[in-house]
Amino acid sequence: MNILAAEAHNPLIPPVGEIIVGIIAFGILYFVLAKFVFPQMEKTFVARREAIEGGIERAEDMQAEAKAALDQYRAQLAEARTEAAQIRDAARAEGQQILEELRTQAQEESARIVARGEEQLAANRQQVVNQLRGQIGQLAVDLAGRVVGESLAEDARRSGTVDRFLDQLDGMSSATAGDGRGGASAYVPQGER
Amino acid sequence: MTSSALALVNVLAAEGAEGDSGFQSPTIEEFYPEPLVSFSLLGVDFEFTRITFILFFATALILVLLVTAMRRPGIVPGKLQWLAESGYSVVRDGIARDVIGPKGLPFAPFLGSLFFFILANNAMSIVPGLQISPMSKFAFPLVLAVFVWVLYNYVGIREQGAAKYFKDAAIPPGVPAAALILVTPIELLQVFVIRPFTLAVRLFANMFAGHMLLVVFSLGAVYLLQVGNFSVIFAPFSLLMAIIMTFFELLVIVLQAYVFTVLTATYLNGAVEPAH
């Protein structure tokens, strides 16, 4: 039976029934795959790509944010620095001014002290001179009285001889020396003698 | 019962009948098993043999696998999903996009279906207990080739216009007028007859020959064991060859599915892009 059938079979001439079966089988497979499976795969590919790209995007956003924050901090720092510099400059200027004021004040003070000292010195000197003038007059009259042997005090006081003499001496010393001091120094040795 | 065992029964029966007939090599009857169901519908005879059921089984198997893999797809794929996506990616990116170009992506579902259909059916040739590929029946590769033929001609006419498509097919640009006497018939025959025919025959013949090789070596081993003389020592070699050829068959299974898909993409590329 088999042998007889073999003569009838040609492998390159398929029966119509088999062709129809093949069409149906492939048709069903194509329908299911193209309708459900492959679109699902495409969707998964897209979702996966988006997940990856989304991650990258998020990271980029974060980086941009961090960069913005950094820039802000830098700007603030620079601002603070300029402000500090300004404050420093201002402080320096103020210090300079205060120093200047103090200096002028001190100079004024010292000038005033010097002036007062000179004034006092002059007053003392005047006082001393006046005192000395009195004492020297008395001394001179006493000495002269002792030399003459009698008291000339009354007469001398009456006539103002001593004063006149001293005025002459003053006039002489001021004529010989340039200033009052020269007169005084020229006068002192005379007094001590 | 496997077809090999069936053939063995035939061999033994033949031996019993004729006494001394020697090795009975497998015949074309390997591919024509007894129909399990046969009926006639609208004047067409349907004979459902075990090969027909293997076709249904393989198709259902790959469908169930792919649908299960993509039923609840995750951004991070599971093992099965990864496997399914890898297979589709090979076709979508490696064939549709790279061979056809940017216009190729719409064809990816068709190419993917072809690939998975052929792969699943080819794989049946080494599944123990089934051990025959429906693709070794010429009808099934032929159906696929005809689908491909219809598709690329349709796409060519749609993309380039009927006049230009047929003119370019008949008169390839850049061919000297004198050569057209030879070139035109060859080109027309090639585009409209030889392409689908070779596409179908390549797949069919590979699976047909692969099955024959496996049967020959398997039956050979059995025969050498039973023949009852010193030739028993050659039986293990025959068995070893059967095992080696099974691994070789595995290579052929994947390769032929890939080749069929790539060639389809190449023809589609010729239809999408005008001839150079």
Distance from CA of B175 to the nearest CA of A (A): 35
Q: Tokens representing A184?
A: 């005084």
Structure confidence at residue A82 (pLDDT): 94
Q: Which residues form the domain of A100? A: 14-159
CB contact under 8 A, A11 and B31: yes
Distance from CA of A60 to the nearest CA of B (A): 22
In a domain, residue A106? The reply is yes
Q: Which residues contact A57 (CB under 8 A, 6 or more apart)?
A: none
Note the pTM of the prediction, 2 decimals. Answer: 0.66
Structure confidence at residue A102 (pLDDT): 93
Structure confidence at residue A153 (pLDDT): 66
CA A61 to chain centre: 42
CB contact under 8 A, A11 and B110: no
Structure confidence at residue A188 (pLDDT): 47
> Cβ contacts (< 8 Å) between B31 and chain A: which residues?
9, 11
- pLDDT digits over A118-175, tens only? 999 999 989 988 888 888 888 888 888 787 776 666 766 667 777 777 788 777 766 6
Find residues 51-110 of chain A whose CB sits inside 8 Å of chain B: 51
Structure confidence at residue A3 (pLDDT): 46
Q: Tokens representing A153?
A: 């005090």
- Overall domain count for chain A: 1
Decide: A17 and B46 in contact? Cβ < 8 Å: yes
Given a cut of 70, the residues of chain B with pLDDT beneath it are 1-21, 275-276
Structure confidence at residue B5 (pLDDT): 52
Q: How large is the angle between the packed helices B162-170 and B180-189, nearest 10 degrees? A: 120
Closest residue in chain A to residue B66, using alpha carbons only: A37
- pLDDT digits over A20-39, tens only? 888 999 999 999 988 888 88
Query: How many helices (H) and strands (E) are present in chain A, helices listed first?
Result: 6, 0
Q: Which residue of B143, B147, B148, B199 to mutate against A (max A Cβ within 10 Å)?
A: B143
Decide: B253 and B122 in contact? Cβ < 8 Å: yes
Cβ burial of B180 (10 Å; 0-12, 13-18, 19+) is middle
Structure confidence at residue A99 (pLDDT): 93
- pLDDT digits over B39-96, tens only? 777 877 777 888 888 899 999 999 998 888 888 877 778 888 888 888 888 988 888 8
CB contact under 8 A, A41 and B77: no
Kindly provide the ipTM of the predicted complex, given to two decimals: 0.83
Among B120, B142, B254, CA closest to B200: B142
Q: Which residues contact B252 (CB under 8 A, 6 or more apart)?
A: B122, B206, B207, B210
In a domain, residue A75? The reply is yes
Residue A50 has pLDDT above 60, yes or no: yes
In a domain, residue A91? The reply is yes
Structure confidence at residue B275 (pLDDT): 59
> Cβ contacts (< 8 Å) between A22 and chain B: which residues?
55, 139-140, 142-144
Structure confidence at residue A1 (pLDDT): 40
* Interface contact A19, partner B, CB < 8 A: yes
> Cβ contacts (< 8 Å) between B138 and chain A: which residues?
11-14
The average pLDDT across A73-82 equals: 95
Query: Count of alpha carbons within 13 Å of B267, Cβ hemisphere only?
Result: 26
In a domain, residue A32? The reply is yes
Residue A193 has pLDDT above 70, yes or no: no
CB contact under 8 A, A18 and B137: yes
In a domain, residue A189? The reply is no
In a domain, residue A171? The reply is no
The amino acid present at A2, given as its one-letter code, is N
Which range among A89-93, A189-193, B39-43 has the greatest average pLDDT?
A: A89-93
In a domain, residue A119? The reply is yes
In a domain, residue A53? The reply is yes
